Structure 1
């Protein structure tokens, strides 16, 4: 696939936003490959392996223009992907959510290769985009690439969580890595009425509007995607690590539950993420027991508890449950699932977020009257998109 084929694939799936034609024009005018390093990385099922442009030009190009939902990994450190050209569908979705107008001042956090900053600059104008990148090497490369195509963007080296107050206030703030708590610095550096678009947690991204008094920022979930966490974030423990740290499971029991929605319903998965932010849910096609049944694995961030749910052998809508530790994670997940169903199974687009100086919380359907998640206190100063078009 090349740039033309990628454009056509986006069009076929109706992923180009009709209300913002400038995005498609900018993606066409700013070549993605101009921001890709000579060495890329691909996942071979076990580890990231290098793809060098000089040795494998065709494979290198295929990594750059893999498809609407495929990121291009540009940096790997200690076996972990730490920077990428985000997949085009997600980049486009977030730019659409930003509602950027010509002449507006923009702060971009996590500049990486510089491609997203280039798209922002094409819309906003010269000298109006400030990028912040924590990696000095990546920042230097982004400056070089941006200058090579004649776009003037300021790229600073710093901690994105602190924003960049010297360049503010900003009309728009966009982050390209996942955060669990939206830093208050971003709100402080955004004009009242300004917009902040950021990935949140492990599943989606939100668009927040700063209140007229600057005391809060509120907005709706915009889409579903997975993002890299901020640099320096420790990887979460795996299910195997949690299982190794915990005691033996309680005796096997059965639960009347079809596990299919956990594998197919993104709205349910998002609701569980909101209800249980420290619980990790993974799917295992081998069931983890060697019996070939697809299973759901659960563990908490603190490695204190773990659980598995897998379809019962009879296939009669029941699940076999094993769980271990002080928390009964399977019970918690099933209870949160029941609560979501009792509320009418709200879609991820029915969720929103409010951020204040002291906390943030997620709400359902209405910021004032909808059910709220437990607030996350002390937001620090510094992780296949599914989208419906709206004015949110």
Structure 2
């Protein structure tokens, strides 16, 4: 019987996936708040929801069971009863800056008065100060914080379910994320894994939990085979975290024998490895040419375990050769975003032209707006399923970012 989490490749037929349908959180903020919340624009929610439904329907039409984060959280909390609901909320408030005090108690009373569903939706959407009949008199802060409209910030990045946790083999990493705007998100996954009847007590391995030091996010974690993982050294994932997860995978005899650490530019357009590089077939990958130096060079470190149990790290710069060696391939096809045209590649990269979701070997889901890259993929023999993308793309994440595979068939 397959465990509720089982992922040993990027391309095995996708059986079960977790999504988050965009809600009030994606437009419950002002332009001034966008840098704080890591957004470049404010999506138009009705269209974003239609586009996300189109994405989910495309997956279902191809035999994928779609689970929703928000529903799983509610079911986990209800399974644990009132004590779990209260302790979960206490942790959420603590991580939102209210470990104790009057505001903590006011928010606690307000949120616990709701049904579980309404409470979870409200936590995700954010709690405005004008929702409560309460004006803090002893708030010692800068004037701008006193005028800030929220007690609890919205979480507009939640529809990118890839990042707070990442499925690896018969387990997952539950991630310590980089920026405060996203750090609370992984608490939802911890609650699901520990308390939801589908996942709790099922022998799942948590290779690394959200309390470990060093930042890491799921968009940087790619399961290339049942023995090889690639992780981006990026704006969102540190070398320290990569070495830590490699050590844990080796120590716990996970079956994974190599971790490839690939350094990418640290900027908002290339925030994760999967925004510039994804595996889409046994021997085919998308790649944004902007990450490669002259001759296709990029800093890559192969991490293995030596005979004494210590980590061995080997540095190389030929990405294609590293992948061929790690995966036992005679050759492979690196397909450039935008066909390699510098203007088109940068434009479509901004809208996640490289962020493809493979749902079977050679079958990928992409944004329809990246029509040049999509045509190039077809010319390389791929089956391309396009989904609507005018509003979803404003969040700077594509189909892979918006999905957390839970179960894939083994190759």
Query: In which range does the TM-score fall when normalised by the shorter chain?
Result: 0.3 to 0.5
Q: What is the TM-score of this pair, normalised by structure 1?
A: 0.32
More strand by share: 1
